[in-house]
Chain A
Amino acid sequence: MRITDLLQARGILLDAAPADKAAAVELLVSLQSVQGNLSDPAQFRKALLEREAQSSTAIGSGIAVPHARSSGVLRPGLSAITVPGGVDWGAPDGSLSHLIFLIAAPEGEDGLHLELLSRLMRLLMGEQFRAQLMAAATPAAFRSVIDQAERAEFPDDFPAAAPDSLPRVLAVTACPTGIAHTYMAAEALEQAASSLGCSIQVETNGAAGTNRVLTAEEIAACAGIIVAADREVDMARFDGRPVLRVPVAAGISRPAELIQEILDGKAPVYHHRDASSSQPASGRSQEGLCRTLYKQLMSGVSHMLPFVIAGGIFIALSFLLDDPALGYETFGKNTPLAAWFSTVGNAAFYFMLPVLSAYIAVSIADRPGLMVGFVGGALAVSGYTFPFFAAEAVSAGFLGAVVAGFAAGYLMRLLQRPLSALPAPLDGLKSALLYPLSGLLVIGLFMCAVNPFVGMLNTALDSTLNGMGEGSRIAVGVVVAALMAVDMGGPFNKAAYVFATSTLASADSASGSGIMACAMVGGMVPPLAIALCCTFFPNRFRPAERRSGLVNYIMGLCFITEGAIPFAASDPVRVIPACVVGSALAGGLSAFFNCALPAPHGGIFVFPVIRNIPGYLIALAAGSLAGMLMLALLRKKTVLSPCEAVME
């Protein structure tokens, strides 16, 4: 029941000048007739004057609202006049009336005229409203003033766009604590949209839950989505649609800009990639050569590691469980139990290098590379070569296996081209006979030719490492351990780790490799340093960080360096140097104390098989404490935002 529905432009007379109240009444009644509201003007006038006789309808502030219910009224309506000169309507304070509305209601429509009256009165309370009405230049302008005021005062009467019209722009807001900025951004976006004349629907992800989740229908129909979030939001549903991803603060400070970008079609189309999906092979050309080679190498390493880890631990256990007094030469196999562990462990360990080559080759050339790589690696280990080339076989070791893997892989890829010229029916023949045969032939020749050279390199490397003076040994230990901390799971960490595990192959099985010991302690220190810092210097961390600090004790002790990654990622400039310092110290001390580790993994669980356990413990403790102190020094006291302070 809107006023503007019942007041047509022709029912309005501006700047009228009736001589007296009676003349004004005549004017108003005729304005009702003109709108077709009256079936019997005389009847209506009579009812009106009766009502006026009861008490004046002048309500002060220069307003009068005469009204009547009558059988002479066909349909409800309003008429209005403005009288700049004023007319005496019998106001209580004797003032003249300048703005007069007449309400006509049919008989029987009980509350209608009263409702209209109350609505009108409410609007007329506004001084600005009255002034605007008086200043209106045309009846249309007069109506427009009322329309706007009604929209503001009674918004529920103005239904939103038709149910089947969906919002043009969508948004999702999500701040980390979810109590204030989420809603402030939502409000800002809604206000900006309304001033741009654009429809918007905002989903808020707050602490108390998610409000107004966007529907699939809305997502499909909109022009685009603004995701103003400082934390993870479900993005899969936006696949293929234009999305603007911005921080929450942008939603608060420049909402109009964001909406305009969507409306102008400038938002990029979002493609959702499942975190677990692998890189397509066709993407290779876009990446650098180094990155490709690195990935291929890592593919081999990741397949090799289980062999090394399980085999290495079993071998270490065999020494732990054995009694050297029973025979030094056969130490590790003296007792039946030890012998079992030793044999089984060695069986796994033995395949370490061939598996490495095999899977490097597979990552390059797929299945055809498997056998060729595997055998290439086996040949590298054995060091077999042409009789005329070298007198004895020297194992090409880890390096030889890597060479074999890449050689096998690229060789098979090369072969794919000529062999693809074969007619289709012979395809089966390809994988069953041609690939294996040709592959084996070439890799056999290749490895025999290459083995002596790589063998020399390997021997040189081994003897350098083993024959290092104390100073260089400590230096290598420091470097290896430091590299473990530099990128925690990234290329440097992996390179140092793989290098360390490769030294196991040529190390004295009983005691193990000193470099491996440095690497492990270097990988244990970062999470432990962080955990210690969270415990003893809690004000350097936010509450959420402190909670994950406890988990890092376990991670560090189990040699899972990755526990430190979230901290390093959020504050690399401080966290990484602190960890590197701690790890380097631990590595140096481990080398200084001549610690050695025969197993490639296991953290605290393989401590029993370490040579010089006390020294190793000192190294670990010293490194962790050093890391903790460095971190405490570098990090300042955290200042929580108001939201974080209360959301603890």
Chain B
Amino acid sequence: MRITDLLTEDGILIGAAATTKEEAINMLVSGPDRFGCVTDPAVCRADVLARESLGTTALSHGVAVPHAKSRGVKERGITVMTVPNGIDFGAVDGPSRLIFLLVGPENDPGAYLEMLSSLLQVLMKNPGLSEKLADCKSSAEFLQLLRDAESK
């Protein structure tokens, strides 16, 4: 399963204007025309924030991966935003500039694990990829870069 199978150009927000992690999560969940798999944004957002409060989902190199299994989601999906100045997600090495949101429905527990697995693998196998993605100027560029990395 590849990230680029689930990620569409519409789901990529370049240069988002969020300043806090709550804002970022809000923007990622609620873009209505963007994220078709969310049936109830309020519930989905609450679940993502609940998971975030258990412990930060920030990784190193400026990547954060908020995620949740939620009633408010009908099928698995991914959106992502790049934030040039970064947002404090609680990472040890500075603000996060690349924020992936992974959601899965409640009846598909393996869903977000698989997405997480694919994402982590592609990031681990391609050092420097996260910086390049965060610097992308357009969603098309972003998607292409990620596709290339995944098909290697």
| A→B interface (CB under 8 Å) | 179-180, 183-184, 206-209, 543, 639, 642-643, 645-646, 648
List chain A residues, Cβ under 8 A from B110: 208-209
Closest to A206 in B: B117
Q: For residues 80 through 103 of chain B, which have their beta carbon under 8 Å from a beta carbon of chain A?
A: 92
Q: A209-B110, A646-B116 are in contact. Are A184 and B125 (CB under 8 A)?
A: yes
A646–B57 touching, CB < 8 Å: yes
B114–A543 touching, CB < 8 Å: no
Our pick among A183, A208, A543 for the contact of B55 (Cβ within 8 Å) is A543
A183–B59 touching, CB < 8 Å: no
B55–A180 touching, CB < 8 Å: no
A642–B114 touching, CB < 8 Å: no
Q: Would you give the 0/1 interface string for B46-62, flagging 1 where the beta carbon is closer than 8 Å to chain A? A: 00000000111111100
Closest to A639 in B: B92
List chain A residues, Cβ under 8 A from B143: none
Our pick among B56, B67, B120 for the contact of A180 (Cβ within 8 Å) is B120
| Chain A to chain B contacts (Cβ below 8 Å), 13 pairs | A179-B113, A179-B116, A179-B120, A180-B121, A183-B117, A183-B121, A184-B124, A543-B55, A642-B120, A646-B59, A646-B65, A646-B116, A648-B55
List chain A residues, Cβ under 8 A from B56: 645
Our pick among B60, B109, B113 for the contact of A642 (Cβ within 8 Å) is B60
List chain B residues, Cβ under 8 A from A207: 113, 117
Closest to B124 in A: A180
Docked complex Cα distance between A645 and B114 (Å): 16
Docked complex Cα distance between A543 and B123 (Å): 23
Q: Would you give the 0/1 interface string for B117-140, flagging 1 where the beta carbon is closer than 8 Å to chain A? A: 100110111000000000000000
Docked complex Cα distance between A88 and B121 (Å): 51
A646–B67 touching, CB < 8 Å: yes
B99 to chain A, nearest CB (A): 13
Q: A642-B59, A642-B124 are in contact. List 12 more A-B contacts (CB 8 A).
A: A179-B116, A180-B117, A180-B124, A208-B109, A208-B117, A642-B60, A643-B120, A645-B55, A645-B57, A646-B57, A648-B54, A648-B55
B7 to chain A, nearest CB (A): 18
List chain A residues, Cβ under 8 A from B114: 208
B121–A184 touching, CB < 8 Å: yes
Docked complex Cα distance between A639 and B124 (Å): 17
A645–B113 touching, CB < 8 Å: no
Docked complex Cα distance between A639 and B92 (Å): 8
B106 to chain A, nearest CB (A): 15
List chain A residues, Cβ under 8 A from B117: 179-180, 183, 206-208
List chain B residues, Cβ under 8 A from A180: 117, 120-121, 124
Closest 5 CB pairs of A and B: A180-B120, A642-B59, A648-B55, A208-B110, A179-B117
Closest to A209 in B: B110
A40 to chain B, nearest CB (A): 48
Q: Which of B57, B65, B117, B124 lies at the interface centre, i.e. has the most chain A CB atoms within 10 A of its CB?
A: B117
Docked complex Cα distance between A639 and B125 (Å): 20
A645–B59 touching, CB < 8 Å: yes
List chain B residues, Cβ under 8 A from A543: 55
List chain B residues, Cβ under 8 A from A208: 109-110, 113-114, 117
Docked complex Cα distance between A208 and B114 (Å): 8
Docked complex Cα distance between A642 and B124 (Å): 9
B145 to chain A, nearest CB (A): 20
B78 to chain A, nearest CB (A): 14
List chain B residues, Cβ under 8 A from A209: 110
List chain A residues, Cβ under 8 A from B60: 642
Q: Which of A209, A645, A648 lies at the interface centre, i.e. has the most chain B CB atoms within 10 A of its CB?
A: A645
Docked complex Cα distance between A464 and B56 (Å): 59
B101 to chain A, nearest CB (A): 13
Q: Which of A206, A208, A543 lies at the interface centre, i.e. has the most chain B CB atoms within 10 A of its CB?
A: A208
Docked complex Cα distance between A259 and B60 (Å): 33
List chain B residues, Cβ under 8 A from A648: 54-55
Docked complex Cα distance between A135 and B55 (Å): 60
A176 to chain B, nearest CB (A): 14
Docked complex Cα distance between A648 and B56 (Å): 9
List chain A residues, Cβ under 8 A from B92: 639
Docked complex Cα distance between A543 and B56 (Å): 12
List chain B residues, Cβ under 8 A from A184: 121, 124-125
Docked complex Cα distance between A639 and B90 (Å): 12
Closest to A180 in B: B120
Docked complex Cα distance between A23 and B14 (Å): 59
A107 to chain B, nearest CB (A): 42
Docked complex Cα distance between A430 and B55 (Å): 71
A72 to chain B, nearest CB (A): 45
Docked complex Cα distance between A82 and B62 (Å): 54
Docked complex Cα distance between A179 and B123 (Å): 13
Docked complex Cα distance between A197 and B22 (Å): 52
Closest to B63 in A: A642
Docked complex Cα distance between A183 and B122 (Å): 11
Docked complex Cα distance between A206 and B110 (Å): 11
Docked complex Cα distance between A207 and B117 (Å): 9
Docked complex Cα distance between A628 and B2 (Å): 46
Docked complex Cα distance between A648 and B109 (Å): 15
List chain A residues, Cβ under 8 A from B67: 646
Closest to B117 in A: A179
Closest to A187 in B: B121
B23 to chain A, nearest CB (A): 21
A177 to chain B, nearest CB (A): 9
Docked complex Cα distance between A206 and B117 (Å): 10
List chain A residues, Cβ under 8 A from B57: 645-646
Docked complex Cα distance between A594 and B43 (Å): 62
Docked complex Cα distance between A206 and B113 (Å): 10
List chain B residues, Cβ under 8 A from A206: 113, 117
Docked complex Cα distance between A646 and B124 (Å): 14
A384 to chain B, nearest CB (A): 68
B44 to chain A, nearest CB (A): 18
List chain B residues, Cβ under 8 A from A179: 113, 116-117, 120
A519 to chain B, nearest CB (A): 40
Closest to B59 in A: A642
List chain A residues, Cβ under 8 A from B55: 543, 645, 648
Closest to A637 in B: B92
B114 to chain A, nearest CB (A): 7
List chain A residues, Cβ under 8 A from B113: 179, 206-208
List chain B residues, Cβ under 8 A from A645: 55-59
B111 to chain A, nearest CB (A): 9
B37 to chain A, nearest CB (A): 19
Docked complex Cα distance between A642 and B93 (Å): 12
Docked complex Cα distance between A208 and B113 (Å): 7
B152 to chain A, nearest CB (A): 11
Docked complex Cα distance between A180 and B122 (Å): 9
List chain B residues, Cβ under 8 A from A643: 120
Docked complex Cα distance between A645 and B66 (Å): 11
A190 to chain B, nearest CB (A): 14
Docked complex Cα distance between A645 and B96 (Å): 14
List chain A residues, Cβ under 8 A from B121: 180, 183-184
Docked complex Cα distance between A643 and B121 (Å): 10
A174 to chain B, nearest CB (A): 14
